[in-house]
Amino acid sequence: LEVASFLREVASASSTLNSVVAVRKPEPIPEVRGRQRRTMSGTVYPQPTAFEENSNVGIGNVFPPEFANRDADAPHAAIDLEQFFCRCPIAGTISCIRWAGQIKGQQKAKKGKPKEGKERQSKKFDHCCFVSMALEDGFTNVSVKVFCTGRLQTTGCRDGAMSLAACRTISESLRAISQDPMAQKHALIKGDFSPSVGNKIAYDAPTNVRLEKESVLGVFDLGFRQQGFSINMHELRLLLRHPDNRDRIYKVNVPHSDEKKKVDRFQGVGVYVNREFLGSHNNVFVSIFPTGKCTVTAAPSVAQANKVAEVIGKLVVDLFVQCRKRDLDAPPAKRAKKKK
């Protein structure tokens, strides 16, 4: 359930990021004299920008390492989610807590008409608590899923530091619960140990909290629109699928065009950059759009995302140089004779 939840959040965040970049209407490109001449002197080559992180989905943990291990011989500990929901204070940055169809605090109203059966379906989600909070710099839609295993999953954060700050907020709540009047009678963390040990684990949560895994989402620009060019998507697909690039490119996806053709010219190409080339555990997905905008989804770190941007930038700019030279070397088209 935790893995499936993590993958759903990453897919949702990447879909939102891709839709924003794809549908964004490009600004008019100013016409520059000399850019269309049949000599290389008028060509200004695109300059890719650095990767910019826009969103971060993190996986954290508040249990000590010996209790976070899921091996059969490892000591077992679990958060009582019902107790956490009832006793977690709505204070500071925390604005709302949801569990098993119950809501505590002020829930933000969602846009659009609610779907039928939504409330009934939400009661099934008793495997985790949803904690909503507002963090610094205007990030008011940060959400943390609290699992009984001590795992925390963050969404709506800007970067890894903000994901860790969200996890730290949960750990401070666990410490506050371990010191409330009900702590002696109702243990928050249960396992093969006395209630006092469970309260000690909850009290030490701010010390043990850590970010174990993160998925970085963001954008970079190849610089085509700024120089008055767009990417030839057909040529790009041929280049990415070429056997010479097999060590760098694992797979190429071509999305279906919009049925109404409203955003057909913004349709991009999805590329999986090879994990062995990146030195990563997973292939990293990149969407490339004709305007030169690229989105990176599910990169394990900012360093890996920067490496992906470097690989894609070199491939696409090299393709541009080849196509540009070929166009310039081609004989000029004959003008059609005017009929009298």
Exposed/middle/buried for residue 204 (C-beta within 10 Å: 0-12, 13-18, 19+):
middle
Average pLDDT over residues 183-200: 89
Is residue 333 very low, low, confident or very high in pLDDT (cuts 50, 70, 90)? low
What DSSP letter does each residue of 109-139 carry, written as one string? PPSSPPPTTHHHHHTT--SEEEEEE--STT-
> What is the pLDDT at residue 138?
67
- Greater confidence (11 vs 244) lies with 244
| Residue 261: other Cβ atoms inside 10 A | 9
Q: What span, in angstroms and rounded, lies between the C-alpha atoms of 143 and 129?
A: 10
- Greater confidence (114 vs 9) lies with 9
Q: Which CATH number among 3.30.310.10, 3.90.950.10, 2.60.40.2240, 3.40.640.10 corresponds to the domain 34-55+215-329?
A: 3.30.310.10
- Supply the mean pLDDT for the chain: 79
* Pairing relationship of beta strands 210-221 and 293-299 according to DSSP bridges: antiparallel
Is residue 337 very low, low, confident or very high in pLDDT (cuts 50, 70, 90)? low
- Greater confidence (286 vs 76) lies with 286
> Is residue 226 scored above 80 in pLDDT?
no
> Is residue 10 scored above 60 in pLDDT?
yes
Is residue 193 very low, low, confident or very high in pLDDT (cuts 50, 70, 90)? confident
> What is the pLDDT at residue 201?
94
> What is the pLDDT at residue 26?
39
> Is residue 133 scored above 80 in pLDDT?
yes
Exposed/middle/buried for residue 99 (C-beta within 10 Å: 0-12, 13-18, 19+):
buried
| Tokens standing for residue 195 | 């209630």
- Boundaries of every domain in the chain: 34-55+215-329, 63-111+118-208
Contacts of 275 (CB under 8 A, 6+ apart): 250, 281, 282, 283, 284
Enter the pTM of the model: 0.74
Q: What span, in angstroms and rounded, lies between the C-alpha atoms of 122 and 305?
A: 35
Sign, CA dihedral 84-88-93-94, equals positive
> Is residue 67 scored above 80 in pLDDT?
yes
> Is residue 267 scored above 60 in pLDDT?
yes
pLDDT tens, position by position, 68-107: 776 666 678 999 999 999 999 998 899 999 999 999 998 8
Average pLDDT over residues 144-153: 95
Average pLDDT over residues 190-196: 88
SS3 call for 21 = helix
Is residue 258 very low, low, confident or very high in pLDDT (cuts 50, 70, 90)? very low
> What is the pLDDT at residue 23?
40
Cβ-contact 275, 283 below 8 angstroms: yes
Average pLDDT over residues 5-26: 59
> What is the pLDDT at residue 99?
94
Average pLDDT over residues 141-146: 94
- Greatest mean pLDDT range, 26-35, 215-224, 324-333: 215-224
- Greatest mean pLDDT range, 22-31, 228-237, 258-267: 228-237
> What is the pLDDT at residue 207?
96
Cβ-contact 143, 156 below 8 angstroms: yes
